[in-house]
Amino acid sequence: MDSSLKSLVNDDNRYQKSFQLFLECSSEHQCMRDFIHNMLPDILASIGDGKSHLNVIGVGSGAGEIDLEMLSKLRLKHPGVTVDNEVVEPSSTQLHNYRVLVSQKPGLDYIKFNWNEMTSSEFEEHWRVNKMTKKADFIHMIQMLYYVKDPGATINFFQSLLNKNGKLLIILVSGESGWGKLWRTYRNQLCSTDISQCVTTGDIKSFLDSKGQSYQSYELPSQMDITECFTEGDEKGELLLDFLTEVLDFSKTASPELKAGVLKLLRHPDCSVESNGKVIFNNNLGVILIDQLT
């Protein structure tokens, strides 16, 4: 990462603002919901071996909306089960929002929520130190492998926690998305070196292939309106540029050459299509589903 640039994750307030704007401008949550409603139920039907109690771990759960939708599908496929749900989320703001959501939603008394305000690596350390032996039937890591030092090691650890017939669900940006092209081109300038920030499902598949590990994968079409990014000084545009580049105050701190190069690439047909005066970025996601290591 260029030494003059700071990672957006260093400023939680601006990160949350840019993330909220990203959700408003993209079909991210909608495409996840389509997957959860149409494909996830059959996946969840195969876990649990008929047990009356299931263990779930959500890693990087954010404010919990997607988690609760997945848990409702779990309940549909396994009526009458009780669920132990470990929530792992480092942002106190997001964890608070999740707790508020749970308190307002009726019918969740079959779930015991365990709140862990920690990163996935802190959770891993906590698990090892306490010599935990509990196994999980379903673990999900949605849009969080960007924030770990070693995605492969993180996957290995959580895969080791799976019960027989357990499933590990990973959702990340697709290697075929505009993000993939942006990161392949500007990884050295934009991406923080102490976390794996610029990782896509393409990288995860390569890692799993190298281990000879089988997995299932799906592509989720998604898009994002980035039109404002091309209006100098536009507040929304600047927040979206921060989110796209993962750089704090990108417009103000990037060199003119880097800024011009990034804006040109974002407009390139490899990343976006232009239609009716709008620039629509390819925000496709990829899903990877992994079984217990045998």
Q: How far apart are CA 257 and CA 94, in angstroms?
A: 36
User: What is the structure's pLDDT at 89?
Assistant: 96
175 within 8 A of 286, measured Cβ to Cβ:
yes
What's the CATH class of domain 8-43+52-291? alpha beta
Chain-centre distance of CA 75, in angstroms? 23
The response to whether 152 counts as a known ligand-binding position is no
The response to whether 130 counts as a known ligand-binding position is no
Q: Report mean pLDDT in 10-residue bins for the chain, 294 residues.
A: 78 90 93 95 93 96 94 95 97 94 96 96 94 94 91 95 95 94 88 73 95 94 96 94 92 93 95 95 96 80
Helix, strand, coil share of the chain (percent; to 5): 45, 20, 30
290 within 8 A of 168, measured Cβ to Cβ:
yes
Q: How far apart are CA 167 and CA 155, in angstroms?
A: 12
User: What is the structure's pLDDT at 230?
Assistant: 95
189 within 8 A of 2, measured Cβ to Cβ:
yes
67 within 8 A of 87, measured Cβ to Cβ:
yes
The response to whether 80 counts as a known ligand-binding position is no
The response to whether 280 counts as a known ligand-binding position is no
The response to whether 89 counts as a known ligand-binding position is yes
User: What is the structure's pLDDT at 2?
Assistant: 65
The response to whether 120 counts as a known ligand-binding position is yes
Instruction: Please name every residue paired with 58 in a beta bridge, in sequence order, or none if there are none.
Output: 87, 140
State if pTM tops 0.75: yes
The response to whether 94 counts as a known ligand-binding position is yes
User: What is the structure's pLDDT at 49?
Assistant: 87
